[in-house]
Amino acid sequence: MLYLLLLGKFMAFMKLPLLFLMIFSASTLYAQLYIMPSDKSDSYIYAKDRLIFVKDEIHLTENLHKETQASLYLRKDAQLLQGAKISSLNNGSGMISIFQAGTSNAYDYNYWGLPIEIRDNNIQLNDIIYETLGNTESRKAKLISALDGSSSPLSISNRWIYTFSGNNYSSWLYAGDHFDLLPGEGFTMKGVNGVNMNEVEGEPINAGSAHIYDFRGLPNNGKIELSITKDQILLVGNPYPSALDLDKFLIENTSSTGIAYFWDSRKDGNSHYLSDYEGGYGTYSPGAGIYVPAIFRKYPNGAETGETGRTIARKVSPVAQGFMIIGKNDGKVFFQNSHRMFQKENPGISEFKSPESAIPSLKLNIELDSTYIRQLVLAFREDSSPDEDHAMDARKMDASPSDVSWSLSGEPYVINVRPKLDEELIPLRISLNKETSLQFSVGETNNFNPDRLFIYDAKDDLYFGIKTGYLKIKLPKGKYNDRFYLSFIEKLPTTNSDPETPEGFKPKPPNILLNTIDIFQNNREERLEIKILYDSGISSLMVYDLNGKLVFNRSFKGLQKEFTMPTGNLGNAVYIVKVNTIDKLELTKKIGVRN
């Protein structure tokens, strides 16, 4: 028999040899949901590509036959949401069945969460994860002690099942066969080798490094809390049989930094040795609306491999996805039903393994020794500060021998969210374990288009433009925390013209900043570029070497706002550039010519 309470109204039960209730509507809503078999037949709901919403509790009774053992089947991204209850009242001997596909073979990890309850402390992983046999039929996966798991029959190696809570490598805790996770805790599990081309709903169970696992049990529901301490790194996972609004979860959890970190690794690894692992942690900031891909490193020494991970949508966390968070202070992190949402996996929104952010931002690329690229994000919000802001600024997760980061209070960050200030120098933190060649360039900008972008070298008092080119320098081994900065210039408003000035010229606004005269040595194009970024013009240009010798001199007539001078014939050295404007301003800057 199947009892359905539809929005509080009793719906007559049906008695059939087998009740196969297909859900095709956009969504199905229940006040309570009771599913139980009769003495002679099984009863279940089969939801495909749809949302099921239950306002209150769910009661499930296990079916009689293994082919239809579960009470509620969620297929093709079908998901279950429940009302805003603090405690879960879900009960019964039955279970839901929900799929999720891994993205790794037997040599690499996925980070997981559990969408279903753990009923007792003696549970094993294969009491939760089943091998898919058909649309409704599954059997318990095998747990094996061999190093490599396999796809058919599904055999999961128990050697690679860990949780994490701490701040160093020793904080990995072996879970193995005895799987007594707290709700909301995440875990690692390596994938399986081989393929299984049997199809369920038109998709192969495993076409290669993408095995579909069947999670079975009572659905998690209500508020779920975990303890966290300051600077503690904690592996958590989406605990619900639905998508998770990751932005909302991170922003509301103020005991964490509000940043999520995702493991990513080289595809198709072939070794279990730690020294052969190649991967890293990507970083997602909801306040910036941006995900910074992982830089792959070899472990445990952190040497770079030259590869980076994929750019993956992170705004929504799909079913059973695990990720790391960091404690901001001692307290609790929590999941609750208001964090749940119905969202099918989509490359532009939600993937297991972000849509373009409307927040103004730029990506700064720093290539180290032509080996790998460190990507840093700078985003601008009026409600931010130059210091660390919750769910905005993202600390650097993994240590490395040589790297570049933003510097906030002297600490390394990969995402920096701050208010837009015209004159601000934004500090970089550089740490090198050997002499290293660095190349700075702009990766991309989003809703932000400054006239120029510079790397400022405070030691030599030099500005190097990188918006249309790059800066390549070689630095000795050491730490550089107060030397290099990112700088940008923004065009200022204009005022009415003065009839006694040259035709077309308008006087500068009051309190004009001298750095709105852009002097840029473009070594890539072997030329000096001069640009006036307010309504004035160039009167004269002179270039001197450091001995005071005049190497170039030119006067201008009319409203000349831009000028380029070839520098390929100059020797590699530092020169002094003096620019006079028609409104009687003078700016002198040093440039470095490197042909």
**Beta-carbon contacts of residue 511 (< 8 Å; ≥ 6 apart):** none
Q: Are strands 72-75 and 96-101 parallel, antiparallel or unpaired?
A: parallel
* CA 294 vs CA 19, 283, 462, 571: distances in Å: 48, 7, 32, 40
Q: Share the mean pLDDT of the chain.
A: 86
Q: Which of 232-241, 341-350, 367-376 has the lowest mean pLDDT?
A: 341-350
Q: Which of 244-253, 269-278, 428-437 has the lowest mean pLDDT?
A: 269-278
- 15 confidence band (pLDDT: 50, 70, 90): very low
Residue 273's pLDDT is 86
Place of tokens 């930094």: 257
pLDDT digits (tens, 9 = 90+) for 374-420: 999 999 999 999 999 999 999 998 878 889 999 999 899 999 999 98
Residue 347's pLDDT is 64
* Mean pLDDT on 52-70: 94
Residue 587's pLDDT is 76
- 7 confidence band (pLDDT: 50, 70, 90): very low
Better pLDDT: 7 or 376? 376
* Mean pLDDT on 299-308: 70
Contact yes or no for 294/306 (Cβ under 8 A): no
Architecture of domain 514-593: Sandwich (2.60)
Q: What is the Cα Rg of the chain in Å?
A: 30
- 344 confidence band (pLDDT: 50, 70, 90): confident
* Mean pLDDT on 483-495: 64
pLDDT digits (tens, 9 = 90+) for 89-125: 899 999 999 999 999 999 999 999 999 998 877 888 9
pTM: 0.82
| Whole-angstrom distance, CA of residue 276 vs CA of residue 269 | 8
The DSSP output letter for 38 is -
pLDDT digits (tens, 9 = 90+) for 560-582: 999 999 999 999 999 999 998 88
Residue 514's pLDDT is 40
Q: Which of 30-34, 189-193, 317-321 has the lowest mean pLDDT?
A: 30-34
> What percentage of the chain has pLDDT greater than the value 90?
61
Domain borders along the chain are: 2-217, 356-490, 514-593
**Beta-carbon contacts of residue 233 (< 8 Å; ≥ 6 apart):** 164, 165, 166, 167, 171, 324, 325, 326, 327
Better pLDDT: 268 or 21? 268
> 506 pLDDT exceeds 90?
no
> 502 pLDDT exceeds 60?
no
